[in-house]
Structure 1
Amino acid sequence: MEKLKESVVERACRLACFAALVVMLVVIGVDIVTRGLFNFSFEISDELGGYMLVVTSFVSLSICQINNSFHHVELVQSRLSPFGRAVSHVIFDLLSLAFCALLLWQLVRFEITSYRFGDHAPTYLATPLWIPQAVMALGAAALCFSVLRTLAAKVAVLRTIIAKTGDARES
């Protein structure tokens, strides 16, 4: 299957990942400089770096999906006919979508619970925990969107294969 063009969602995710990496580099760089030169630390680089790692991890999933960057079992796929390969892709994406929807549901519940109870990180910044949890839910929602897009593309490929084999049978 050819690579899909990035939508607004995937471009926003790519920009968020880029921004998270820049923030992480700046915060850690400033902390290194202040520790080395002034023997002083803001004591927030670990926390902010962790949050930026969460952003990068969850938000990049949709970009990986749309660019077909996840692992595949080529040993099995290479032995299937084009029709079998297309069917297995559709089934795999349907299962992936079900898992992603379940993950999104649980992350939203988790975030709502944290917001309702006013949970804060036990750190110097005392960040409300619903903020990084919201990023996790947004990343899962973007992944659901991207899986839906790739699923639609793979269903179109399957239909094309069915139409071609149907035309061959009619001849």
Structure 2
Amino acid sequence: MPTSRNWSLTGTLQRLSALLANICGYVLLALAVLVTAETLGRKFFNISLQGVDELGGYALAVGSALAFTTALVDRAHIRIELFHVMLPMPLQMALNWFAITSIAAFGGLLAYVCFTILWDSFAYNSTAPTPWATPLIYPQSLWYGGVVIFALVSAVMALHATYLLVTGNGKALNKAYGPKEAAEEVKEELEDLARR
């Protein structure tokens, strides 16, 4: 793994996570504006934009797929850490390695299954059962892109965790892939508050 001062895996993944979170935020903000316009149009002008609910479904699917990666990089997935800190370092290392490699395996499986869905939509020229009759290959491609990003990032993280495990760098492995401790979460919240 590269150890240059100019490059770090953690920094790169955090920048990617921030980018994906921003994309998610803008998509959901645009959806909120459309839903508001739709609601006001129906209430006061008796008109409908038609298809806002369809766009909402696509936005939530793509946003969720992107959020998988953000949650992974930010270590926001739920893990029970009640006894984790009391375990000996080698066992903590093994559990943290197992956790990230399990997520990577799940990411690979998810990418495979989602590809079969995307392929079926392409093969059968599937369209949405809505007035727009949107060809599903387009929104599903964006959704699949988010799933592939998750699968790739989780695979890179699993490889990095394996490297740390094999080289015996337990402290770095536990810091990068272990559950967040309460003190770490409080520190992050205070830093976030100070940035605002």
Q: Which string of whole-angstrom CA distances, capped at 9 and with x for unpartnered residues, describes residues 57-89 of structure 1? A: 111110110000000121342332122111111
Q: Residues of 1 paired with 2:74 and 2:16: CA distance?
A: 13
Which of 30, 35, 39 does residue 37 from structure 2 map onto?
30
Which of 156, 161, 164 does residue 170 from structure 2 map onto?
161
- Asked if structure 2 preserves the Cα contact closer than 8 Å seen for 1:27 and 1:49, the reply is no
* Shift in CA distance, 127/9, structure 1 to aligned 2, threshold 3 Å: farther
Task: Indicate yes or no: 2:60 matched with 1:90.
Answer: no
Q: Residues of 1 paired with 2:152 and 2:18: CA distance?
A: 13
Sequence identity percentage: 22
SS in 2 for 1:125: coil
Q: CA RMSD in A?
A: 2.2
Aligned positions, number:
160
SS in 2 for 1:75: coil
Which of 95, 106, 117 does residue 110 from structure 1 map onto?
117
Q: How big is the shift at 1:156?
A: 5.0
Q: Which runs of 5+ in 2 are unaligned?
A: 1-8, 172-196
Where relative contact order (Cα < 8 A, 6+ residues apart) is larger, the structure is 1
Moved over 6 A (4+): none
5 Å-filtered alignment, 1:3-82, equals: 4-7=10-13, 9-82=16-89
SS in 2 for 1:78: helix
Corresponding residue for 2:148?
A: 141
